Amino acid sequence: MEENKELELFENQLEERLNELLQIVQANYHAQKLRDMITDYHANDVAQILPLLEKQQRARLYNVLSNEDLSDIFSYLDDPAPFVEEMSSEKAADIIEEMDSGDAVDLLEELNEEKKQELIELLDEEAAQDVALISGYEEDEIGSIMTTDFIVIRQNFTIKQAMNSLIAQAADNQNISTIYVADENEVYLGAIPLRDLFVARASDKLEDVIITSYPYLNATDKTSEVLEKIKDYAEDSLPVLDANNRLIGALTGNSAVEIVEEEMVEDYVKLAAVSESEVTEENIPLIKNVLTRLPWLIILLGLGLAVSAIIGTFDFVIAIIPLAAFFQPMALGMSGNAGTQSLAVTIRAIAENDKKAIKTRMVKEVAISFFNGLILALISFIIVGVYLLLFKNVALGEAFSLSGCISLALIVAITISGLNGCLIPMIFKKLGVDPAAASGPLISTTSDLVSAVTYYGLCALLLL
């Protein structure tokens, strides 16, 4: 409740700020006053009002604000293409040159190929090289989301020389909290936290404040594979190296957060057997959504028909003990829930890529499922028995025989489903398939299959 109030307060404050901004832009202030007032607001706020302005109002902003101001604003735009199109290519190129290299690449990727190439040709040599470097890596590689915005000093500097180099580079770089150290060939040697350099005395040796074991990433590392490393170190930035250990970029904290969010979305949509575009994009054609979901639904339909066919083979049980059908949803539902819980934990263990931890987790998950099944079986034994006795007028012995059979089926089905929740993603991993890919729906359906066989098999074996 308190969180809802805080969220509502934040949204109200945001709405007020955006309204104030709109009024400022729409008022007839002279250029310098308008610039001073606009720059008092966060660049993200200005980005949010751009689509709400008239074209001529935006044109005035482009003229009033500096290229550096505009570069900050454009880095927050979800769809910058319409705004780039309404200004001259020279102006757009000037703005891109001021942007963080990673943000510049993201903006260029949103444009059509012709406009993109036109702007790249207008960039200065340094900006063009940065764009080419980052664009050269695959989307799932660290190099594609790194920035070339970082401070680097030489290992043979004195403390005073290092401070002078830091000051000289700081004007053109935003990520200054960690300073990287490299030799004359750009080979990475370590890092220095900004605070350590500030408190160092002029008589100290630079090598004494360099952290040579400071963590780093390789540009070709897959983002999904180094996610745990990024989260474990939780640094403001991590250096990114090429195949020759040369320092070519840095992964910032903001980019790390984006990686985590993207991985969460990716795993979520895979567990639900839908495409990522359905979650992240709004204007997806209906037919595309249908065709994206259909293959897995057809597979699950086949498994569902198999479950129904197996239940059909136990029609003689239902004919003799019709009350058994009443409790079928409970047995199937509980086992499916247990399997999904084990699945979530196993995918987490697989993501950490620790084989020993995966095996330990599997044993633990089966044990957890067994004891949960035992507890639920004891509860259902009493509740179902009493229900049959009092509300269905079933004889005492028959009531508790059926509830006992149901309870035993719960233990077996929940334990096997817990095992399935571990085995299925592990099998997917062995086959080279993402363990999260549709494991959720698959676990539910296979759990139904196991539960149906267990439940009616036990009823036939013990009660007939």
Condensed to tens digits (0 to 9), the pLDDT of residues 338-355 reads 777 787 777 767 766 666
- Residue intervals of the chain classified under CATH 3.10.580.10 are 151-269
| The pLDDT of residue 7 is above 80 | no
| The pLDDT of residue 265 is above 70 | no
Task: Return the percentage of the chain with pLDDT > 90, whole number.
Answer: 30
pLDDT digits (tens, 9 = 90+) for 29-55: 888 999 999 988 999 999 999 988 899
- Residue intervals of the chain classified under CATH 1.10.357.20 are 280-463
- The domain defined by 151-269 folds into CBS-domain (3.10.580)
Please give the mean pLDDT across all residues of the chain: 83
At 14, the pLDDT band (50, 70, 90 cuts) reads: confident
When pLDDT is averaged across residues 135-163 and rounded to a whole number, the result is 90
pLDDT digits (tens, 9 = 90+) for 91-140: 999 999 999 888 899 899 989 999 999 999 999 999 999 999 999 999 88
Higher-scoring residue by pLDDT: 265, 396: 396
Sign, CA dihedral 145-146-148-151, equals: positive
| The pLDDT of residue 436 is above 70 | no
**Listing from the earlier edge strand, what are the strands of the sheet with 217-218?**
217-218, 237-241, 247-252
Neighbouring residues of 52: CB distance < 8 A, sequence distance ≥ 6: 22
Residue 219 confidence (pLDDT): 94
pTM over 0.75: no
Q: Which of 245-249, 293-297, 460-464 is the most confident on average?
A: 245-249
pLDDT digits (tens, 9 = 90+) for 315-344: 887 777 787 778 888 877 787 777 777 877
Per mean pLDDT, which range of 5-9, 66-70, 175-179 is the poorest?
Answer: 5-9
| The pLDDT of residue 282 is above 60 | no
When pLDDT is averaged across residues 275-289 and rounded to a whole number, the result is 59
Higher-scoring residue by pLDDT: 268, 258: 258
Residue 268 confidence (pLDDT): 52
Q: Which of 397-401, 436-440, 456-460 is the most confident on average?
A: 397-401
Per mean pLDDT, which range of 267-281, 351-365, 412-426 is the poorest?
Answer: 267-281
DSSP percent split of the chain into helix, strand, coil, nearest 5: 70, 5, 25
Residue 279 confidence (pLDDT): 47
Give me the half-sphere count of Cα atoms (radius 13 Å) on the Cβ side of residue 276: 9
Superfamily name and number for 280-463 = SLC41 divalent cation transporters, integral membrane domain (1.10.357.20)
- Residue intervals of the chain classified under CATH 1.25.60.10 are 2-138
Task: Return the percentage of the chain with pLDDT > 70, whole number.
Answer: 87
Longest Cα–Cα distance of the chain, Å, equals 93
pLDDT digits (tens, 9 = 90+) for 184-198: 899 999 999 988 988
What token pair was written down for 374?
């035992």
Residue 117 confidence (pLDDT): 93
Q: What is the 3-state secondary structure (H, E, C) of 204-258?
A: CCHHHCCECCCCCEECCCECCCCHHHHHHHCCCEEEEECCCCEEEEEEEHHHHHH
Residue 229 confidence (pLDDT): 77
Residue 354 confidence (pLDDT): 62
At 4, the pLDDT band (50, 70, 90 cuts) reads: low
Q: How far apart (Å, rounded) are the C-alpha atoms in residues 131 and 124?
A: 11
Cα separations in angstroms, 441 against 270, 298, 328, 421, 447? 10, 12, 19, 11, 10
Residue 281 confidence (pLDDT): 52
Q: Is 63 exposed, middle or buried (0-12, 13-18, 19+ CB in 10 A)?
A: exposed
- Pairing assessment for the beta strands 217-218 and 237-241 based on DSSP bridges: parallel
Q: How far apart (Å, rounded) are the C-alpha atoms in residues 158 and 206?
A: 6
Residue 450 confidence (pLDDT): 80
When pLDDT is averaged across residues 427-449 and rounded to a whole number, the result is 71
CATH architecture, range 2-138: Alpha Horseshoe (1.25)
What token pair was written down for 328?
């079928």
Residue 130 confidence (pLDDT): 92
Higher-scoring residue by pLDDT: 120, 450: 120
139: Cα separation from own chain's centroid: 14
Q: Is 37 exposed, middle or buried (0-12, 13-18, 19+ CB in 10 A)?
A: middle
